[in-house]
Amino acid sequence: MEWPVVCLLFIAGIAGGVINALAGGATLVTFPVMLAAGMPPVVANASSAVAIAPGHLIAAFADREKLPAVGSHIAALLAVTVIGGIVGALLLLALPDRLFVLPVPALIGFATALFAFAPRIAAWSEARRRGAEPSRRGGLIALAGASIYGGFFGAGLGIILTAVLSLAEPNDVRKVKVLKNLLATAVSLAAIVIFILRGIVLWPQTLTMLLGAMIGGYAGGYLVRVLPAEAVRWFVIVSGAVMTVFYAQRYWS
């Protein structure tokens, strides 16, 4: 690789790590850069997924005060995300390049709207169930869908996971962010195992971006601790809106 490409991949990794820690959506930066490095779309997606995966975990442990206690519920969430990530990765590899990006704009737009209105939806849901606990089955089904999407492409996975988790925790942004990063790690690791076994990861480019993503992930995890909750919420909403427009113009025009 030439030095300009190395620098571009490294900087994109840092930016992606920060974005994933705060809101999700690192693929908005990393995937186009992988394409610019000359990779075909599926290879670029797989290599990008490998590069940014550790950033999720680093961001989660950077705010370890909010890490959830290990129990049956967390184990169920992790199991669902792992299975979903594997299914999504296998679905990606079964489709032609031109088809795997078509649903992305609609999925990101829906997830952004869901996150923006999560407090109102949660209040309405609370009134409907009159103090009963949120439906765990419904939550697991939504999480399974998000995980399949994450293994399939991953752009906006953090926003989708944040939207799903915010229905149960609409007023604790930090707790949602840490759990989102933990579950995104499970989805990503499950998917990248499939990608690596299929031999579609280009390692020189991937490792360069991965180093930057690890640095950015830790920095982003610190920012989640110090930024006001409302600022983080608006960062998520604006990021989601930008990604929706970007991918709609790219893949629907």
Cα(69)–Cα(4) distance, integer angstroms: 44
Highest mean pLDDT, choosing among 19-23, 120-124, 193-197: 193-197
Give the start-to-end residue ranges of the domains of the chain.
3-252
Number of alpha carbons in the 13 Å side-chain half-sphere of residue 135: 10
- Give the start-end residues of each E strand in 99-222: none
Does pLDDT of 199 surpass 90?
A: yes
| Residue pLDDT, tens place only, 181-190 | 889 889 999 9
Cα(143)–Cα(165) distance, integer angstroms: 8
Q: Once rounded to an integer, what is the mean pLDDT over residues 236-246?
A: 84
Task: Give the pair of three-digit tokens for residue 7.
Answer: 């620098």
| Residue pLDDT, tens place only, 110-139 | 878 877 887 776 666 556 555 555 567 778
Q: In this structure, what DSSP letter does residue 68 have?
A: P
Task: Give the pair of three-digit tokens for residue 160.
Answer: 């989708």
Span of 88-97, 122-131, 138-147, 167-176 with lowest mean pLDDT: 122-131
Does pLDDT of 43 surpass 80?
A: yes
Pick 207 or 100 by higher pLDDT: 207
Q: Once rounded to an integer, what is the mean pLDDT over residues 13-38?
A: 81
Pick 108 or 136 by higher pLDDT: 108
Q: Quick one: pLDDT at residue 63? A: 66
Q: In this structure, what DSSP letter does residue 95 have?
A: S
Does pLDDT of 207 surpass 60?
A: yes
Residue 8 confidence class, pLDDT cut points 50, 70, 90: very high
Residue among 159, 175, 182 at smallest CA distance from 229:
175
- Residues 81-109 as b/e (b if ≥16 CB within 10 A, e otherwise) read bbbbbbbbbeebeeeeeeebbeebbebbb
Residue among 185, 193, 135, 137 at smallest CA distance from 161:
185
Cα(227)–Cα(161) distance, integer angstroms: 20
Length of the chain (residues): 253
Residue among 222, 226, 236 at smallest CA distance from 63:
222
Residue where the block lists tokens 């949660």? 122
Q: Once rounded to an integer, what is the mean pLDDT over residues 142-160?
A: 86
Q: Quick one: pLDDT at residue 235? A: 78
Does pLDDT of 236 surpass 80?
A: no
Span of 8-12, 13-17, 29-33, 168-172 with lowest mean pLDDT: 168-172
Q: Once rounded to an integer, what is the mean pLDDT over residues 143-157?
A: 88
